[in-house]
Structure 1
């Protein structure tokens, strides 16, 4: 009786699919990523050709009063505002070289030997990309001659001009927290320079950011729901901000008195996620400071309280490995290639799922 053998092409497909799931998980963002319309990080996996632009739709919530009783509904319908976020995908690649004394008989053996290093690189690459998009400045797209919204564009915080940052502040005044309050002026640099060194992250900051998310004037920031129906916001924060929150007396007391005291689960011991006022606080160590831009050149950190439709990730081609022989097959190169992109989600210049927090680090 002949043994079953998986076809080589299918084996590579299974390997690539598993690799993608593992590196996304190791990036730290997997629990908040899905294809659902209300995901914190919307994922699009409509595989297309290289170089495609993927459009992630966003439908604004209805605000009208509707009609009651015998009132006529015809002619009183409400326009359903819809926008989209453009995600430009591009190749992301890396490779390692293996000597003949380390290799075995097949492509999959080569790939498995290179797997750990390549997977770490992919996870870090995705994580850094999403952090950059969280901090990015939204450039309003406007409308075309027919009044149809044009998709917004984005610039990394570091390369955005003073004017672009200020325009971004004006469109997002109800979802940018400068220290312990909304911006005190309509100029980004001036508002940031007013953040004192005492404006660290506290339990009040978390609650204030949540309150801002719940009361946005337009493009409401809605929490994401667990399978059990529980509503949560998630705050991504760097090491300085996480340390400040962990030492906050009320959050420390909540972890001490209201959560299990096992070493394996309590964040007082494990350094795991904090929870306060319906917000999960997740430490992402690679979220760095934005510079010494506060009052008296105080260092300023960045955190993002996120609800649904905060970020978008598009995979136009799943990861696949390639091998190449060198030096009379004495050396084998193993590479990973995929086509991926990401963006902050926004509509009419307004970030749709995020409260940006600038605090004293």
Structure 2
């Protein structure tokens, strides 16, 4: 019986499979719901390349607020205009690729169509999961050498991406990071906290975190006529909130009545005081990071270590995100390539996608006009009660 040849697919069919794969991947990606092409999106999606003297680049534009008061009445406006301070930041792009390959015709009794479907599902989930991981590592100002559970990645390929941050210098900016102890929010990261002093997140933390975002002029997301921020915590971090009496009381009374209230429905997202608090398993925690074998005297971040000056404290890095917290270059559709090996005895499918991530920083925020700061993200390192 003649074998069906992958190469017999028409260009239109390959394009259809590419689009179907990318649609499947986007539906599986957690970050998709926060993406948009305008400046009001938490993740600004850059789909077009901009031509410049330096070549064709993915450019994200950040606009500083106007500081002047204008004029009043019949005062002369001409020659008193205020210049717009726009800051262009370039998102480096690179290619993510992966593939499936059958061991041989006898090892697989499925049809080629089933193999395509299985590959679409498996590769679609893979790229969605890796995009989620890269996005949250970027938002958290963490190196791509880590998994989101704090362990060191077995592979170093992500560290070679063009848009990968420098592991030696990546960190939240000074006015955009806090850790949580018994005194509340304290500037710095969990690596600066005295050993054993981190505490779990509570409703009080959320109130303080929103106030910190307002004071820092983090631009909120406009939705339904309201201003809101997204707050991301680990599932264990959400468990701490759901066990906090003040959090329970506020969600119970602020939400709709009955079983549809997010407190009782088991929803992964809870709206409270203009904060959409969401749990996600790729929010960074360090439960799988190695404990330090000796004092880290500087209290600086050490990849693969836990929080605390000595590197022994388990915790999470929760995130508050406003508008344009993250830039994502999403260039073109995914490439779907099918290939035969060993006289058509082995079949292979590969996918490739051009992407890039950037946590934008710029000068011009009214709270720190001349200092480059993370544009739309605040990190807060907390303990998680399940780990003691």
- Shared fold by TM > 0.5? yes
In structure 2, C-alpha distance between the alignment counterparts of 1:76 and 1:196, rounded to whole Å? 56
What residue is the counterpart of 1:334 in the other structure? 349
CA distance in 1, matches of 2:18, 2:50: 17
Aligned match of 2:285:
289
TM-score calculated relative to the size of structure 2: 0.74
Distance across 2 between alignment mates of 1:311 and 1:97: 35
- Length-normalised TM-score, structure 1: 0.79
Aligned residues: 321
1:102 Cα deviation from its structure 2 partner? 4.2
Paired position in structure 2 for 1:73: 77
Mapped partners of 1:189, 1:287: distance in 2:
16
- CA RMSD after TM alignment: 3.0
- Displacement after TM superposition at 1:13 (Å): 2.7
Counterpart-to-counterpart distance in 1, 2:190 and 2:233:
23
Q: Is the 8 A contact 2:190 2:308 kept in 1?
A: no
CA contact (8 A) 2:284 2:318 kept: no
2:218 corresponds to: 221
1:44 alignment partner in structure 2: 46
Deviates more, 1:197-206 or 1:7-16: 7-16
Q: 1:214 to 1:14 in 2, by over 3 A?
A: farther
Match of 1:176 in 2: 177
- Give 2:203's aligned residue: 203
From 18, 21, 24, the equivalent of 1:19 is 21
**Cα separation, 2, equivalents of 1:294 and 1:113:** 44
Contact 1:195 1:360 in 2 (8 A): no
CA distance in 2, matches of 1:335, 1:304: 34
**Contact map agreement 2:61 2:88 (CA 8 A) in 1:** yes
Q: Please point out which of 351, 354, 360 is paired with 2:377.
A: 354
Select 1:33's aligned residue among 32, 35, 39: 35
The structural deviation recorded for 1:265 is 6.2
**Cα distance change, pair 65–137 in 1 and its aligned pair in 2 (3 A):** farther
Deviation track 1:295-322 (CA, whole Å, cap 9, x = no partner) reads 6743232011001010011122321210
1:111 and 2:116 aligned: yes
Which runs of no fewer than 5 residues in structure 2 stay unpaired? 1-8, 144-162, 287-304, 364-371
Using the TM superposition, give the Cα deviation of residue 112 of structure 1 relative to its aligned residue in structure 2, in angstroms: 2.2
The 1:314/1:198 distance shift into structure 2, 3 A limit, reads closer
1:324-355: per-residue Cα shift (whole Å, max 9, x none)? 10121111001111111111121133111111
- Map 1:127-206 → 2, pairs under 5 A: 127-136=132-141, 155=165, 159-161=167-169, 165=171, 169=173, 172-173=174-175, 175-179=176-180, 180-183=184-187, 188=188, 192-194=192-194, 197-206=197-206
Structure 1's consecutive aligned runs of 4 or more residues displaced over 6 angstroms after TM superposition are none
By how many angstroms is 1:262 displaced? 6.0
Which stretch has the larger CA shift, 33-42 or 20-29? 20-29
Question: In structure 2, do the counterparts of structure 1 residues 57 and 272 end up closer, same or farther at CA, with 3 Å as the change threshold?
Answer: same
Q: Is the 8 A contact 1:236 1:303 kept in 2?
A: yes
Residue segments in structure 1 that go unaligned for 5+ positions in a row: 1-6, 139-152
- Distance in 2 between residues matched to 1:308 and 1:46, nearest whole Å: 20
